[in-house]
Amino acid sequence: MTSSEKRAALDELAKQIINCKNCGLCETAINAVPGEGNADSEIVFIGEAPGATEDQTGRPFVGRAGKLLEFMLGQIGYKREDIWIGNIIKHRPPDNRDPMPEEIKACQPFLTRQLEIINPKIIVTLGRFAMNYFALDAKISLDHGKPLEIKSHIVYPVYHPAAGLRNPKMKLALIEDFLEIPKILKEAKEK
């Protein structure tokens, strides 16, 4: 698939996500947050769900956690526009509660298709919900910073930037794990 074909496919999928009524979240959210970024990115970042700022703007990771994510991207030589970023669910849960299994299931076809289109070398999961989407039995406290081979993907779990903002130890672990991303990408490309 060419870059323009990928972009067109992602744009079409975004329209479907914006019009999605597969769960009740569309009734309480202001905007859908389909995801955004470079359709040719070798790295995809997946969080759990949009927060309040994301719900307002329709864009992923634009609040305080997004600022930390952008800072960490800069530390490894990337800008936001170099990567693709999204969430496992596409509408904000009320009061930022955890996503429900049925909501995750309702959005699963969208994320599956987005990953098929982009076909990244590695998927960096931000937080436990995103990690457990790919590795059901994994524990973020044990498995963060350890690349996992899952089906045809290298999944690299890290703490969620929001957790890093609340907990200095998690922030340190998050930054340390982030600094390993270029090495993991290099190894994935050599496979």
pLDDT reported for residue 176: 97
- Block means of pLDDT (10 residues each) for the chain, length 191 residues? 95 96 92 97 97 95 94 96 97 92 95 96 96 94 95 93 94 96 94 78
Which fold, 3-190? Uracil-DNA Glycosylase, subunit E (3.40.470)
Edge-to-edge strands, sheet with 122-126: 36-37, 84-87, 43-47, 122-126, 153-158, 148-150
8 A C-beta contact, residue 47 and residue 37: no
pLDDT reported for residue 156: 98
State the pTM of this model: 0.95
Tokens in use for 188? 């994935």
pLDDT reported for residue 190: 87
pLDDT reported for residue 152: 83
pLDDT reported for residue 185: 96
